[in-house]
Structure 1
Amino acid sequence: MLQKLGILGFLIVLNLSTFAQKLEVIDLKVEHLSNPLAVETEIPRLSWKINSTEKNTQQAEYEIRVGTDKVFLNKDKDLVWKHRASTDQSVLIDYAGSPLQSKKKYFWQVRVKDNHGNTSAWSTIGFFQMGISASDWSAQWITASGKDTSSRSPLFRKEFSLKKKIKSAMAYITAKGLYEAKLNGARISDTYFAPGWTSYKNQLQYQVYDVTALLRIGSNVLGASLGNGWYKGRIGFGNQHNFYGDTRGLLLQLEVEYTDGTKETINTDENWKYTYGPIMASDIYDGEIYDARMEITGWDNTDFKEDSNWKNVNVMNKGTEKLIAMSGPPVRKHEQFKALSIFKTPKGETVVDFGQNLVGWVILKAQGPTGTKITLSHAEVLTKEGNFYTTNLRSAKAQDSYILKGGAEQVFEPHFTFQGFRYVKVEGYPGELKSDDLTAVALYSDMATTGKFTTSNPLINQLQHNIQWGQKGNFLDVPTDCPQRDERLGWTGDAQAFANTAAYNMDVAGFFTKWLKDVKADQQPSGLIPHVVPNVLGINDGASAGWADVATIIPWDMYRAYGDRRILETQYESMQKWVGYITSVAKNNLWNSGFHFGDWLFYRPNDDNDGRAAVTDKYLIAQTFYAHSTQLLINAAEVLGKKEDVAKYTALLSNIKAAFAKEYMTPTGRLVSGTQTAYVLALQFDMLPEGLRAACADRLVANIRDYGNHLTTGFLGTPYICHVLTRFGHNDVAYDLLMQESYPSWLYPVKMGATTIWERWDGIKPDGSFQTPDMNSYNHYAYGAIGDWMYRTIAGINSAADAPGYKSIVIAPKPGGKLTQASAELETVYGTVKSAWVLENNLLKLDVTVPANTRAKIVLVDSSHDIGSGTYHFESSVK
């Protein structure tokens, strides 16, 4: 029943509301971003959140104004759009004012009226700037003279003079390779690995930076260095180099506006100079070599007079790739870790333990004789004897080396590479190595943390920690499979399996929007979706069930998580083409041909006696995903109002399911593969007649019980197994799987000391030995997909099926597994949702928070409640 606040609580609320606004507008966003500088769409969408001190608050009306001058905005002058609407819509509202101009900055604010009659003040002013159109590029591509065969990173510089007072200055930059840009000796940005990894042959991102504060009247210097990166360096398999091109290049356009209204542009052109700097080699897989003796002091600043021996650059051909604005979050530095310990291994090697498997690099301080070479090698684990272990990195050297120039203490860190590691082996360090000499820095895409989850069970809490760090380590511009060995590719199967969990933990709207552009760009004309995106494998390496279905799964998942209808509009053609591809190779509505990874890395027990864990038939799996992708295409067509497509694909889906039943199912619902994954996928995707589903769920439970409450699923079955069990009334079995501590289980790696999710259920075996080194990553997020079930079922936070983006929320926790407490929160596009429960003497005490402008349904064992925004307390008996 609903409990009322006590008198003390009432007085506290009353006191706070006396000093706070009753209603305010916060967190303005444009295209999921705060104050973006490169909006490409002609119809950007505006969003905001509402804070209210009153319960049951809904937006009744909003008023938006958009202008070209921040000062005049408050005076309603120079407006390009002013709009008022009586609606509760506050997320992704289409701009509908005057046409927006290339490179122009626009300021905007909003105020709202609520259903209680309150009107907010105008919000703080936000802004967005339009990206640069193709016709507005005047800069030229430049590169080092001659063929770009040197392993060293080139340095480019251009000195120029500004003679007037500066109002603003914007830099538009991209590169073939990776770039680090500087202005008057300072880094232009705190971001890394720009311009990011895209399908370079189709589209190349550019970045925009406000550099007003870095410029000065008089002499100025632009500088940049380039690395091989994904463009030219080793990427993919078979020692593959130069996949996208063999020449690194820079494109930079600096546009300065003076206070008198005049403008000046400084471009990359034939007048720039170059030389080679101290980065002797840089590769994503192999690491970086930096020779401090080759440093050129002051090269990127004024008063540098030693460029007489620098050479003139070459101007490159423009290229056929399309330049596009950056739409996802950049990579930035995040958490830092000091050494937990520095020790000697049994082999006598000096090793540093940072306590967390992370992705990034080590900042090293050192002082010693000139020519001293220090090498840092990176590893995820130690052998059971305690020795440094890198065999699982395969051919990746994963080493950073620094050569000292003598003199004062120096500080080193890489520029164009990253490593996945917990342990670092240090060789050649002069003197005694101390913990203050090393700092590990995590780098990943700058996604805001949106989810928090904790329970009364420390092992589950560590599992959640591992899931989050698996995401951080592998969401470095693209969703990689692993971040440490000679791979680090955007495997589609891993990404689709984890997308829902990812959207609970972090704001991945921009991240996946950016990546899906490349899913579409790298899709073959036939509709085939590659195994990896961006695709650095063969053009025909694709179309595997559960991998290629990323084309339908993630667009729908992102629509559900963020209410973003446009992502369905943008990806709809790609979704159609993928389903069309399957249909084109199917025979009699059966997708029973082609290569498939199947239920990748499923548990393989020694079952020679009865064969009950036989490999799940790959074509059975393919048929279920054929149905799933078709269903998601129907869903998208319904949202987009494509009635003819709904009818067309509904008929196709019926035929797909009929073909499945005929080929893979007995009349009583027994499947030709009696595996957990077979039953999970058949039940999750509604492949079975409704009357047979309960019995099939019972068969799934029997299989799980037969294995001592262990799962045997791989990459495709694991994300759904607990969802299916809960859906069909076996929540206790789902909890038994989650709480299982012995192999194979989610908690087995936790018990073995894991700080991220492993690629294999037994990456380290109970005796301390390792699984096959050919494929044994200790930072692989796919099995972390259980996080989705933990948020949805344990904490009970769900978006209502008919209201994407948490406009309508369902909070329905289902306690179990001997948990006595669980709490979670999720920062949605409307605000923070919280669900926290305590179980005492069969009484569930639940506290929930519902953000303004949403409603929620609270589902308990003995009751349900429809509520508006606010904070509430409920109590319910638990049977």
Structure 2
Amino acid sequence: MTIAHEPRVVGLRVGRRRDISLAASARPPVSWLVEAPAAWKAARAELRLDRITVAAANPYGVLEEWPFPPLQPGDVRTLEVRVVGVDGSASAWSEAHEIRARFTDEPWTASFLGLARPTRAAQPFLARRAFAVAATVISAELRVAAHGVYHARLNGADVDDGVLHPGWTAYQHRLPLQLTDVSALLRPGEVNTLAVEVAGGWYTETYGFGETAERFYGDQPRIAPLLRLRHKDGRIEDISGDERWRLFGDGELVSSGIYAGEEVDLRRHPSGWETQAFDDAAWEAPALARPDRDPVPIDIEPVRRIRSLPVVAVPDSADPDRVLLDFGQNLVGRVRFRVSGPAGTRIVLRHAEVIDAGRVNTRPLRAAAATDTFVLDGADDTVCEPRFTFHGFRYVEVTGYPGELDPTDFAAVVLHTDLTRTGWFSCSDERLNRLHENIVWSFAGNALSLPTDCPQRDERLGWTGDAQVFAPTAASLFDTDAFFASWLTDVVAEQASRGGRVPTVVPQTLGSLGETMAAGWGDAITVIPTVLHERFGDRTLLARMIGPMRAWVDAVSDAAGPDRLWERGFQYGDWLDPTVARPDKAKTDPGLVATAYFARSARLVSDALDRAGDGDAATRYAVLADDVRGAFVATYVTPRGRLASDAPTAYALALEFDLLPAALRPAAAERLAFLLRAGGYRMATGFLGTPLVLDALLSGGQEGAAEQLLLQTMCPSWLYPLSQGATTVWERWDGIRPDGTLHPSGMTSFNHYALGSVGDVLHRRVGGLACDAPGWSRLRIQPWFISSLQHARVAHDTPRGRAGVEWHRDAAAPDRLRVRAQVPHGVTAWVDLGDRAPFEVGAGDHTWEVTVALRRSPEIGVDTDLAVIADAPGACAAVSRTIAVHSPEMATEFDAYIRWVPGRRLRDELAAVSAPAALVARIDAALAGVPT
């Protein structure tokens, strides 16, 4: 950390986004960072907008409310900030920051343009308008709303670098409006041409599964453009959607779908259509339609091309006419390639996450064709890339390529919402590093316009449960405030007509399936605003969400009834519990899960009301939370701390949601550790238990069990997929089974971030850096010194500046460690290093020497107690691997049968599966080699 010699203000921005700074509303939030010597104390801030100066009591700018008169649409203003210390000294004014007010508060006047006589469903089209621009025009802003997706060019140049504009929202409630400054592309005094390519995107997609799939929004794409020109004298001139536009429905984009992919026939490209030198006689006048609602600007980073990845291998293909390409990473995006070939050559690209016996395995895609087709026009060095689709894939199968394919001519273009990375983790165990990288890739790929469950099959929907469990991890990795705030607007809109109920998918396009009122899914409306307030200091959003949060809890209260137990109706429960066959039949009773979430959400609503200053309402919801907690204990908890559902998720929920009397917490934590050890420390939790289980163990003093669970390599575990080459997080723990076969279910995604919710634990616990007060105004430094790790490091760009923790074990004396911490200016940190009483430090760089006893295991063998063996790191896996070498079938039987509980020797359990003496001897030798 570089300590400033003088206080200064840096990183000034307006709005929630970090990719650019703009005013998407009349009163946008303002943020800035303060860098100063640790001893210098800030007292207040001063903000200057042009010539207006106001004082702010808070010197640290974390989404501060706009202190000036409201901005007007089109305003261009200059903002500066400085901070004043308690000693009266002041920083210099920050660099002048130009604010562009990019919003509109007037009724929408542009008509929607569509094909007058479409010949097929979801037909893409081209739209163009040539117009004269007076020499007096000084600026231009392009405003576009769409029923679909579009790409615009002005005078032959892209208007921006985004793709899939304007993204996906709950269109029937909120029609997104894209506003782009195109002044630099305008040619005053000449004829200009605005050209737009349009496809259906999410608007014309079919949603649902199998024969139930149908279009939800509409059959045909449409676009509503408005180019606003500003003259020197202040006069406004609009080039709007009207009858003067010309449309063409037989361009090179033959068909386009999110699930299906695209077909492009380059022979059909109308040459020169993007410039004014064009004969549009063959084009038609548009069908005009008035919008049924005013479109609204959305304050969210756009989807962009983030990076390109080369082909890393060309696997052997089972068919000589098909070439397989491996990009080395499961990703979200599409393929760009360069090719020369005869006109009419048809090149087909099929995408998949896995290959099997020399072929792409498309079974997990279900009805999604995920296929792009290009028909060449005979030109040399043609660059091909889809326009309006995306795929989840690592492998691509190419057919019809002319001549010998050169892999260097192909690249995978990674697409996702352009979120700013803010959190990093690394440690001495490369497996954990790879797991963390997989988590990053999975969230980034599924953060595409809105938080989706998966990017590859015929789904790609905003499942509320997935977003709810992953939101803390997402906030540890990226600045997700604007991203989730935008999606929550749709959640609230969908909830508004449902009596407080929250659909399981938002936007809700799944008919009755999406209407399920499910615990852990609908609770996204209480959990995510709380996360955004805690991690980003977003007070305004939390205040805005109090009403919808209350509506959800009230709806749950009605569903639960006077006994406060939510046990009626269908629940997803601990979805995809790996210990059962059906995803919705977890071992933890769904009523227990639902009642636990009921208590938690009631508590979150109470806390939000208390922050808002509504003490009476806060008390009412606190009483409700206490009542639900009491009902939970009376119904599901025995006097000795056992739960009615004797399963890990039940204990994790009870412990982490604070549902147990203090006297029973140690027993519950011990039982949780016992159950996990009995299963050989393999994962026994689904979507709702997995984010909580490590925290429940660590908070309950069960560090050994937590370490065993985190570092387990057997299936199911967090590290098992790495042995199968995983580069993203899987939907199922056993998506690829140990024998190399795919899980037989039709619901098998290899890019699904929910189970990657452990990422937040890697940051908070292993790295030891956590947010301890809203907006990171206070840190918690409390590393988990895992015995097998030599070092770990975490860094986070908080709203107040860079924070970090790193710890290193002394190679000569492993019980001794050195911990370094970086605390931003104006922030305090609560520190717990385990070998002394917790203490507090202020801003600056800090170093501490720590002594923590290593956890050591005794020597073990086949005559050792089962529980002692299970507690030795890697021992259960060593036994399973050794048996599998002898007989995979016996290993499967043994792993399903064995319970690693005290009071019995391993030799006796091996006899139960008729293990021969030679195998027992090999297992004994393998156990002798387990590190102690």
| Structure 2 Cα separation of the partners of residues 454 and 380 of structure 1 | 26
Find 1:808's aligned residue among 771, 778, 802.
778
| Structure 2 Cα separation of the partners of residues 338 and 307 of structure 1 | 40
**1:744 lines up with 2:728 in the alignment:** no
Letter of the 1:164 counterpart: A
- Aligned residue for 1:656, secondary structure, equals helix
Letter of the 2:49 counterpart: V
| Structure 1 Cα separation of the partners of residues 638 and 622 of structure 2 | 24
1:332: how far off?
0.6
Q: Which residue of 1 aligns with 2:33?
A: 49
1:376: how far off?
0.5
Q: Is the 2:494–2:506 contact (alpha carbons within 8 Å) kept by the matching residues of 1?
A: yes
Q: Which residue of 2 aligns with 1:358?
A: 331
Structure 1 runs (4+) deviating above 6 angstroms are none
| Structure 2 Cα separation of the partners of residues 42 and 303 of structure 1 | 40
Letter of the 2:845 counterpart: T
State which drifts further: 494-503 or 322-331.
Answer: 322-331
Q: Which residue of 2 aligns with 1:721?
A: 693
**1:642 lines up with 2:614 in the alignment:** yes
1:387: how far off?
3.0
Q: Is the 2:15–2:22 contact (alpha carbons within 8 Å) kept by the matching residues of 1?
A: no
| Structure 1 Cα separation of the partners of residues 658 and 569 of structure 2 | 24
Letter of the 1:271 counterpart: R
1:529: how far off?
0.6
Q: Which residue of 1 aligns with 2:887?
A: none
- Aligned residue for 1:341, secondary structure, equals coil
| Structure 1 Cα separation of the partners of residues 194 and 559 of structure 2 | 54
Q: Deviations over 1:329-376 (max 9, x none)?
A: 110111211100123323443100000000000001111111100000
Q: Which residue of 2 aligns with 1:266?
A: 239
For 1:99-114, what aligned pairs fall within 5 Å after superposition?
A: 99-114=70-85
Instruction: Go from structure 1 to structure 2 and tell me whether the alpha carbon gap of 1:816 and 1:37 turns closer, same or farther (over 3 Å shift).
Output: closer
1:82: how far off?
1.8
Find 2:291's aligned residue among 302, 318, 326.
318
| Structure 1 Cα separation of the partners of residues 88 and 783 of structure 2 | 34
Q: Deviations over 1:246-294 (max 9, x none)?
A: 3322111111223444432211111111112110000000100000000
Instruction: Go from structure 1 to structure 2 and tell me whether the alpha carbon gap of 1:807 and 1:403 turns closer, same or farther (over 3 Å shift).
Output: same
Find 1:215's aligned residue among 180, 186, 194.
186
- Aligned residue for 2:314, secondary structure, equals strand
Number of aligned residue pairs: 840
| Structure 1 Cα separation of the partners of residues 285 and 692 of structure 2 | 59
Q: Which residue of 2 aligns with 1:767?
A: 739
| Structure 2 Cα separation of the partners of residues 168 and 548 of structure 1 | 45
Instruction: Go from structure 1 to structure 2 and tell me whether the alpha carbon gap of 1:606 and 1:443 turns closer, same or farther (over 3 Å shift).
Output: closer
For 1:419-438, what aligned pairs fall within 5 Å after superposition?
A: 419-438=391-410
| Structure 1 Cα separation of the partners of residues 665 and 805 of structure 2 | 31
State which drifts further: 864-873 or 749-758.
Answer: 864-873
Q: Is the 2:316–2:358 contact (alpha carbons within 8 Å) kept by the matching residues of 1?
A: no
1:130: how far off?
3.2
Find 1:160's aligned residue among 122, 131, 137.
131
State which drifts further: 654-663 or 775-784.
Answer: 654-663
Q: Which residue of 2 aligns with 1:71?
A: none
Q: Which residue of 2 aligns with 1:829?
A: 799
1:103: how far off?
3.0
**1:397 lines up with 2:369 in the alignment:** yes
- Aligned residue for 1:94, secondary structure, equals coil
Q: Which residue of 2 aligns with 1:22?
A: 6
Gaps of 5+ in 1: 1-12, 68-75, 608-612
For 1:601-640, what aligned pairs fall within 5 Å after superposition?
A: 601-604=576-579, 615-640=587-612
State which drifts further: 525-534 or 93-102.
Answer: 93-102
For 1:501-520, what aligned pairs fall within 5 Å after superposition?
A: 501-520=473-492
Q: How much identity, in percent, do the aligned residues show?
A: 38
- Aligned residue for 1:62, secondary structure, equals strand
Q: Which residue of 1 aligns with 2:571?
A: 596
1:167: how far off?
2.2
Q: Is the 1:732–1:817 contact (alpha carbons within 8 Å) kept by the matching residues of 2?
A: no
1:641: how far off?
1.1
Find 2:518's aligned residue among 544, 551, 554.
544
| Structure 2 Cα separation of the partners of residues 164 and 838 of structure 1 | 66
Instruction: Go from structure 1 to structure 2 and tell me whether the alpha carbon gap of 1:239 and 1:426 turns closer, same or farther (over 3 Å shift).
Output: farther
Instruction: Go from structure 1 to structure 2 and tell me whether the alpha carbon gap of 1:146 and 1:399 turns closer, same or farther (over 3 Å shift).
Output: same
Q: Is the 2:123–2:220 contact (alpha carbons within 8 Å) kept by the matching residues of 1?
A: no
Instruction: Go from structure 1 to structure 2 and tell me whether the alpha carbon gap of 1:330 and 1:709 turns closer, same or farther (over 3 Å shift).
Output: same
For 1:86-485, what aligned pairs fall within 5 Å after superposition?
A: 86-115=57-86, 118-146=89-117, 149-217=120-188, 218-237=190-209, 238=211, 240-276=213-249, 277-304=251-278, 306-319=279-292, 321-348=293-320, 349-383=322-356, 385-485=357-457
Letter of the 2:698 counterpart: T
Q: Which residue of 2 aligns with 1:72?
A: none
1:37: how far off?
7.5
- Aligned residue for 1:824, secondary structure, equals strand
Q: Deviations over 1:294-342 (max 9, x none)?
A: 00111011212x20111111210221x3422111111011121110012
Q: Is the 1:380–1:778 contact (alpha carbons within 8 Å) kept by the matching residues of 2?
A: yes
Q: Is the 1:56–1:852 contact (alpha carbons within 8 Å) kept by the matching residues of 2?
A: no
Q: Is the 1:391–1:773 contact (alpha carbons within 8 Å) kept by the matching residues of 2?
A: no
Q: Is the 2:59–2:83 contact (alpha carbons within 8 Å) kept by the matching residues of 1?
A: no
Q: TM-score, normalised by structure 2?
A: 0.88
**1:31 lines up with 2:15 in the alignment:** yes
Q: Is the 1:56–1:870 contact (alpha carbons within 8 Å) kept by the matching residues of 2?
A: no
Q: Which residue of 1 aligns with 2:627?
A: 655
1:625: how far off?
0.6
1:449: how far off?
0.5
Q: Which residue of 2 aligns with 1:73?
A: none
| Structure 1 Cα separation of the partners of residues 183 and 601 of structure 2 | 48
Q: Which residue of 2 aligns with 1:7?
A: none
1:437: how far off?
1.3
| Structure 1 Cα separation of the partners of residues 759 and 635 of structure 2 | 34
| Structure 1 Cα separation of the partners of residues 347 and 468 of structure 2 | 41
| Structure 1 Cα separation of the partners of residues 107 and 77 of structure 2 | 18
**1:59 lines up with 2:42 in the alignment:** yes
Letter of the 1:61 counterpart: R
Q: Is the 1:763–1:776 contact (alpha carbons within 8 Å) kept by the matching residues of 2?
A: yes
Instruction: Go from structure 1 to structure 2 and tell me whether the alpha carbon gap of 1:116 and 1:826 turns closer, same or farther (over 3 Å shift).
Output: farther
Q: Is the 2:13–2:21 contact (alpha carbons within 8 Å) kept by the matching residues of 1?
A: no
Letter of the 1:877 counterpart: T
For 1:727-876, what aligned pairs fall within 5 Å after superposition?
A: 727-800=699-772, 803-840=773-810, 841=813, 842-863=815-836, 864-876=838-850
State which drifts further: 111-120 or 735-744.
Answer: 111-120
Q: Is the 1:830–1:851 contact (alpha carbons within 8 Å) kept by the matching residues of 2?
A: yes
Q: Deviations over 1:205-242 (max 9, x none)?
A: 11111111111120100011111111112233346343
- Aligned residue for 1:173, secondary structure, equals strand
Structure showing greater relative contact order (alpha-carbon pairs closer than 8 Å, 6 or more residues apart): 1
State which drifts further: 841-850 or 446-455.
Answer: 841-850
Q: Which residue of 1 aligns with 2:902?
A: none
Q: Is the 1:58–1:854 contact (alpha carbons within 8 Å) kept by the matching residues of 2?
A: no
- Aligned residue for 1:646, secondary structure, equals helix
- Aligned residue for 2:743, secondary structure, equals coil
Q: Which residue of 1 aligns with 2:676?
A: 704
Letter of the 2:830 counterpart: K
Letter of the 1:139 counterpart: A
Q: Is the 1:392–1:775 contact (alpha carbons within 8 Å) kept by the matching residues of 2?
A: yes
Letter of the 1:64 counterpart: L
Instruction: Go from structure 1 to structure 2 and tell me whether the alpha carbon gap of 1:645 and 1:837 turns closer, same or farther (over 3 Å shift).
Output: same
| Structure 2 Cα separation of the partners of residues 195 and 493 of structure 1 | 25
| Structure 2 Cα separation of the partners of residues 368 and 808 of structure 1 | 62
Q: Deviations over 1:749-789 (max 9, x none)?
A: 01221000001111111110110240110000001000111
Q: Deviations over 1:466-497 (max 9, x none)?
A: 00000111110111110000000001111111
Instruction: Go from structure 1 to structure 2 and tell me whether the alpha carbon gap of 1:124 and 1:37 turns closer, same or farther (over 3 Å shift).
Output: closer
